[in-house]
Amino acid sequence: MAKPRTGPKTASGATGGLSARVMSGDARTGSKLPVAPSANAKRTVKRKASADATPVDRVRRICLSLPDTAEKIAWGTPTFRIHDRIFVMYTDNHHRDARAAIWCPVPEGAQAAMVSADPEQFFVPPYVGPYGWLGIRLDRDPDWSAVAEFILEAYRIIEAKQAARRVAKGRRPTKR
C-alpha cells in the first residue's frame, strides 16, 4: 500500500494545524480514501443515510456541535459564530456565482496552497479572501470529513484571536 503524500506546507514548514489527510492530494481532489470496514459498520450505515441532508444542514450540524457557537442570518445567508465573530459563512449562489460553498479562515499559506492544488474545489472568496479566508465548494461532492476539519480549524483560528483580544484588554480568557 502506498504511503499517503504529505500536503503543502506553510512558509514555516507546518501545515497550520490542518491534518495531513486534509492537506493530502486525495482530500484536496475530493476523492474518497479507502477505509477498512470497522466494527461499527451499522453506525456507519446510519451516518450514510443522513448524508442525504442538504449542504447547509450538514454545515450547520458541524458548526453548532462546537462549544459556544451560534447561527445568525447575515446578508441573507447563514453565518456561524463564536462569541459573535464569524468563523464560517455559508453561501448559495452568491451574486449568481452558481455554487454552494462555505467561506472560512485558514492558516497563513493554506489558502494559496489549496487553491493552486485544486481550483475546482477551492477558491479565494470575495471580500474576505484578501484576509486569508478560503472558499470551499460544497456542490461538487466534497469530502465531508475534510470540510469538518476546515470548519474546526476556522473555529480554532477565530477563538484564538478572541482569546488574545480578551487578554489584551486585561480580561481572562473564557473557559470552554
> Which residue ranges make up each domain of the chain?
54-168
What is the reported pLDDT for 120? 95
**Cell numbers that stand for 21 in this block:** 489527510
Tell me, letter by letter, the H, E, C secondary structure of the chain: CCCCCCCCCCCCCCCCCCCHHHHCHHHHHCCCCCCCCCCCHHHHHHHHHHHHCCHHHHHHHHHHCCCCEEEEEECCEEEEEECCEEEEEEEECHHHCCCEEEEEECCCCHHHHHHHHCCCCEECCCCCHHHCEEEEECCCCCCHHHHHHHHHHHHHHHHHHHHHHHHHCCCCCCCC
What is the reported pLDDT for 97? 76
Cα–Cα dist 109/113, whole Å = 6
What is the reported pLDDT for 18? 63
What is the reported pLDDT for 28? 38
Give me the CATH code for the 54-168 domain, please: 3.90.1150.30
Cα–Cα dist 18/9, whole Å = 10
What is the reported pLDDT for 80? 98
**Cell numbers that stand for 6 in this block:** 504529505
Cα–Cα dist 8/14, whole Å = 9
What is the reported pLDDT for 157? 97
What is the reported pLDDT for 170? 83
pLDDT in tens, the chain (176 residues): 444 333 333 333 444 556 544 554 444 334 333 333 334 444 333 444 455 689 999 999 999 999 999 999 999 999 999 999 999 999 998 777 778 999 999 999 999 999 999 999 999 999 999 999 999 999 999 999 999 999 999 999 999 998 898 888 887 666 65
